[in-house]
Chains A and B, each alone.
Chain A
């Protein structure tokens, strides 16, 4: 890879991780998890995550709302009254990240990011949003898996759509 391309990719990855952290904190979570990385992938310049997710009727705002609904559904399953669960699942935002210090993320975000990076490297192409989608679709358990199940989206279908998107020639 030529140095300019490498620099652009490094910048895109830094923006992706910073964006994921900002999204997590805006949703009341201290550290980004796989679902926040997926939301951040919508804004990657290649646009492939957005295109894949829209095939399943999800734009960034709809996915974000579905994550909050997923938290509420889990709280109801834990025994909270639905009205209280709704109120508590939409957590107030934490202060935005300062951008200094060590970058911290949850294990699910690390796993998704590592899976996506491995896919991109094995295909010898820059990391794209669809790699993140494929990576989270490959995770059998966790918030994203539960969320997809609740929305009636097969993980295998999502992974196939991401693979299809990645095979398209770059525009």
Chain B
């Protein structure tokens, strides 16, 4: 089980607490966004390693190719094939 599937599993089995405190709700949003960013980085790295193009990555993420490239190219530059041009 990969880390992110473990996370999804953990989310589905846990009972999501209810809060009416906006600060606590925002803190949860920030923590989940941080986790989602990490999952996205790991998924993009894995996809590129498997030969996905930026167009495919962008489509899977539901963003433009330019947006996906801008967000991840700096980190992934120099790894694998010349994915940046695809």
A interface with B by C-beta (< 8 Å): 28-30, 70-71, 73-75, 77-81, 84, 88-89, 91, 94-95, 101, 141-143, 145-146
Contacts and interface: CB of A to CB of B under 8 A. Distances in A.
Nearest to B71: A30
Main SS class of interface, B: helix
Given A94-B75, A95-B75, A146-B23, A71 B14 contact: no
B60 interface: no
Contacts of B37: 30
A71 B16 CA distance: 16
B35 interface: yes
Given A28-B38, A84-B7, A84-B10, A78 B75 contact: no
B74 A74 contact: no
Interface of B: 3, 6-7, 10-11, 13-17, 19, 23-24, 26-32, 34-35, 37-38, 41, 74-75
Top 7 nearest A-B pairs by Cβ distance?
A74-B31, A79-B16, A78-B28, A84-B10, A74-B27, A79-B14, A77-B28
